[in-house]
Amino acid sequence: MEVADDVEDFGVDDVGGFDDLDAVVVTTEPTTSGNAGDPMEILYRHHPEAILDYAEKVSPYIPLQQVPPSSDGKDPVHKTQPFLSVYERTKILGFRANQLAQGAPPYIARPEHVTNVHEIAKMELEQRRLPYIIKRPLPNGTFEYWRLSDMMMI
């Protein structure tokens, strides 16, 4: 009776095809940078919205050249109209209400009878006291930056 230790080619299946193992060459995909396995690089490649924009990068794109920007191209930085959409308004109010609920001081002198953080956030937005920058995506994959104080609220 043969035991597995006695047989030399035990566990080797000959399915054909690769008679010469030296012919098999393992290649790796060329990488564009030195940190190909970096999880942050993979995250940024698949989710570019996760890339943080710092003030040094964004500040040249914020100032208005012409109010409001027109279609004749005098304001090369802004292409969309300066109207605050209902979606942007909702996001700003929710974000600011969350900050107020976490203990952030209000930017306005609020009346004593107003204690609801959502109402305080609405009053701050109406008085244009919030120092936020709106980042709008454009169809070509770039972004446009607006100061909240430069936006018109309908």
Is residue 15 situated within a structural domain? no
> pTM for the whole thing?
0.62
How much is the mean pLDDT over the chain? 79
Q: Which of 70, 65, 66, 72 is CA-nearest to residue 81?
A: 70
The dihedral formed by the CA atoms of 135, 136, 140 and 141, expressed in degrees to the nearest 10 = 40
**In this structure, are residues 67 and 136 in contact, taking their beta carbons and an 8 Å threshold?**
no
pLDDT of residue 68: 59
**In this structure, are residues 138 and 144 in contact, taking their beta carbons and an 8 Å threshold?**
yes
64 half-sphere exposure, CB direction, 13 A CA radius: 15
Q: 109: domain CATH number?
A: 3.90.940.10
Sign of the alpha-carbon torsion through 107, 90, 146, 125:
negative
In the predicted model, is pLDDT for residue 114 greater than 60? yes
The domain containing residue 39 runs over which residues?
Answer: 34-150
**Mean local confidence (pLDDT), 80-92:** 94
Is residue 143 situated within a structural domain? yes
Instruction: Give the span between the Cα atoms of 33 and 117, in whole angstroms.
Output: 47
Question: What band does 22 get if pLDDT is binned at 50, 70 and 90?
Answer: very low
Name residues whose C-beta falls within 8 Å of residue 139's C-beta, 6 or more positions apart in sequence: none
Is residue 87 situated within a structural domain? yes
* pLDDT, tens only, 45-76: 888 778 888 877 888 878 776 665 555 657 77
Is residue 23 situated within a structural domain? no
In the predicted model, is pLDDT for residue 28 greater than 50? no
In the predicted model, is pLDDT for residue 9 greater than 80? no
In the predicted model, is pLDDT for residue 44 greater than 90? no
> Euclidean distance between the first and final Cα of the chain, in Å?
90
Q: Is 12 helix (H, G, I), strand (E, B) or coil?
A: coil
Domain count, the chain: 1
In the predicted model, is pLDDT for residue 88 greater than 60? yes
Instruction: Give the span between the Cα atoms of 95 and 116, in whole angstroms.
Output: 14
- How many residues comprise the chain? 154
**Mean local confidence (pLDDT), 132-141:** 90
Instruction: Give the span between the Cα atoms of 147 and 84, in whole angstroms.
Output: 11
